[in-house]
Amino acid sequence: MNLPNKLSILRILLVPIIIYLLLINSLSSSAVALAVFILAALTDKFDGHYARKHNLITTLGKILDPLADKLLIIGVFTAFVQIGVLSIWPLLIIVARELAVTGLRVVAADQGSVIPANIWGKTKTTIQMITAIALIINPQIFNLPLILTETLVWLTVIITIYSGYTYFAAAEVDYS
């Protein structure tokens, strides 16, 4: 197994640790959750870059990397709902988008087509991670202005919806 795939697996293994720390909901656990989340986010940036640079792109990596991203974001946002930091609506929109795009990719694969990540999908993941960091920081570590966190949450929702739309708009699949 190559390094990028090991990093994706590491990211998956870090998810329950981050969720556990967030659910403790204390200053110290939030600080550790923040550090572990940033580590997980950095593995996402590094594994893809390293795989492309060293020609280590594999079928397993094409599955593991987006799966790790989905588990990380959905897990963390679910913890935010549980501790009362986030309304359930942004989480439901994120989950619905992920299921819809994954379903689209399955249909495309069945028809012999691959739908690669696009710039909006990558932007979506980045803004989701930035929002997650802001929500971990606020209010346990540092009390961010409400307008900032609310703006990030709704920007995340809008980009999540739009990125899903771009996949469906560009897909050349037979829906019948």
Tell whether 175 is covered by a domain: no
Residue 169 has pLDDT above 80, yes or no: yes
- Please state which of the ranges 47-51, 91-95, 162-166 shows the lowest mean pLDDT: 47-51
Q: How many domains does the chain have?
A: 1
Mean pLDDT confidence for 23-43? 96
According to the model, what pLDDT value does residue 148 have?
Answer: 93
According to the model, what pLDDT value does residue 87 have?
Answer: 96
Categorize the per-residue pLDDT at 52 as very low, low, confident or very high, splitting at 50, 70 and 90: confident
According to the model, what pLDDT value does residue 34 have?
Answer: 97
Phi, psi angles (nearest 5°) of residue 116: -75, 165
Residue 127 has pLDDT above 90, yes or no: yes
Alpha-carbon Rg for the chain in angstroms = 17
Mean pLDDT confidence for 104-116? 87
According to the model, what pLDDT value does residue 138 have?
Answer: 87
Tell whether 176 is covered by a domain: no
Tell whether 160 is covered by a domain: yes
Place of tokens 């397993």: 60
Tell whether 12 is covered by a domain: yes
Residue 96 has pLDDT above 90, yes or no: yes
Residue 86: is it exposed, middle or buried by C-beta count within 10 angstroms (0-12/13-18/19+)?
Answer: buried
* CATH number where 74 lies: 1.20.120.1760
Tell whether 15 is covered by a domain: yes
Q: Would you say 79 and 22 are in contact if contact means Cβ atoms under 8 Å apart?
A: yes
Residue 67: is it exposed, middle or buried by C-beta count within 10 angstroms (0-12/13-18/19+)?
Answer: middle
Residue 51 has pLDDT above 90, yes or no: no
Tell whether 132 is covered by a domain: yes
Residue 158 has pLDDT above 80, yes or no: yes
According to the model, what pLDDT value does residue 155 have?
Answer: 98
Domain containing 76 equals 3-170
